[in-house]
Structure 1
């Protein structure tokens, strides 16, 4: 199973829609989480039909900066449990994969509302005992290395975000393909790059998906790049591991004794 998260900065631009289409055709994503679509539900429904998604759930923002959408393929079942202007929390079911809980998240971009964002991370952390992953654009940094630019990120904000992740017993999924997911004023003296898009898993998540991978996908229509979460379940089908007798075992000196004593 895999999951795409992208802060698309508006789908009213035909170029952005073409870019999204190219991304969705390149890789068959089971679940797609879109942030800042700035689009009505009917528009998301059109995109679902166009790109082969059979279900969508949208959340309207309380201001212009927002609008969330969750889309799924036919081979995945998705039950939205709770939602807010900043997140969509859902139970995900797919044959051959452990049931899981996924939260698509969008943190407040306004620094004065960071504490509200942190509260929203804490609020769904105890809703279920299922393996849980929260992924999206947090608009927050965990360390100084998450930013490259002229002005340092306030230490109080670094500590606040780090504390809420620790209090929620979450562990970050390592990002492959780049160090930063957002940039501004590229090539200029005030060029800023930050790691705003992330994924975190709880303890039960890591027990089920210890090899999950998070990758960065470049885009040319937004200052946010996509992040792509790929799950590798530890569960297996017994049908794939059938017993097969090997004649060479008969040549082993202790083989007959081991069979008799079994």
Structure 2
């Protein structure tokens, strides 16, 4: 709530909120956004919330899946752009469904597109430390390259 107030946030994406149902609704309403779209988690670490103030931003949900929420956004006087909030399941078979769904979203729209969230995947070997070693990059890297996406980088600690 402090972040929302101090930074005058008009759109907020929460990945893996760790609560659902009536508890989630209480928290969402306490944040005082006028609109929201929720994908409830199937397990403890899943789920997505997209919250926004419709008096400040025009946001139309264009589609959802169990791993994403996609919306068309625009502020007054600005051109619209596409935003996809992502929580990719750690299972490669389920993640493949996400890439297929995002291919469908890409085929339907020709506007600037920002994807953000937890992809449970990497674009380059240097993005990983520890755990199981990787022989090759697949999944996200393949989709990323096929759709001519650009990595905008990050701010903060390299490995979170």
Name the structure 2 match of 1:173.
Answer: 152
Decide whether the 8 Å contact of 2:18 with 2:46 is kept in 1: yes
Matched, 1:95 2:68: no
How many pairs align?
Answer: 159
How far is the alpha carbon of 1:82 from its aligned partner? 0.7
Give the Cα separation in 2 of the matches to 1:170 and 1:84.
21
Tell me whether 1:36 sits opposite 2:25 in the alignment: no
Is the alpha carbon distance of 1:43 and 1:98 closer, same or farther for their aligned partners in structure 2, counting shifts above 3 Å? farther
Asked whether the equivalents of residues 19 and 44 of structure 2 are also in contact (C-alpha less than 8 Å), the reply is no
Secondary structure of 1:83's aligned partner: strand
Give the conservation status (yes or no) of the 8 Å contact 2:122–2:140: yes
Kept in 1, the 8 Å contact 2:17–2:45? The answer is no
Instruction: Give the TM-score normalised by structure 1.
Output: 0.54
What pairs with 1:112-127 in structure 2 (closer than 5 Å)? Answer: 112-127=93-108
The CA deviation at 1:144 is 1.2
Does structure 1 retain, via aligned residues, the 8 Å contact 2:39–2:66? yes
State the Cα distance separating 1:85 from its structure 2 match: 0.8
Cα drift, residue 102 of structure 1:
0.7
Distance 1:41 1:91 in 2: 26
Rounded to whole Å, the distance in 1 between the matches of 2:123 and 2:135 is 10
Structure whose CA Rg is larger: 1
Q: Is contact 1:102-1:133 (8 Å) kept?
A: yes
Shift, 1:116, TM fit: 2.8
Take 2:31 and 2:94, find their aligned partners in 1: how far apart are those partners? 35
Matched, 1:49 2:12: no
Give the gaps of 5 or more residues in structure 1: 1-20, 183-262
Q: Which digits, 9 at most, give the CA deviation of each residue in 1:146-185, with x for residues without a partner?
A: 0122642x233x23321110111211112133322x2xxx
TM-score, normalised on structure 2? 0.84
Specify every segment of 5 or more residues in structure 2 that has no aligned partner in the other structure, as ranges.
Answer: none
Contact 2:41/2:47 (<8 A) preserved: yes
Q: Secondary structure of 1:37's match?
A: coil
Q: Which residue of 2 aligns with 1:203?
A: none
Q: 1:16-52 deviations in whole A, cap 9, x for unaligned?
A: xxxxx23323322221111222433544443343223
- Displacement of 1:60 after TM fit? 2.2
Shift of 1:125: 1.4
How big is the alpha-carbon RMSD for the aligned residues of Structure 1 and Structure 2? 2.2
2: CA distance between counterparts of 1:155 and 1:114?
18
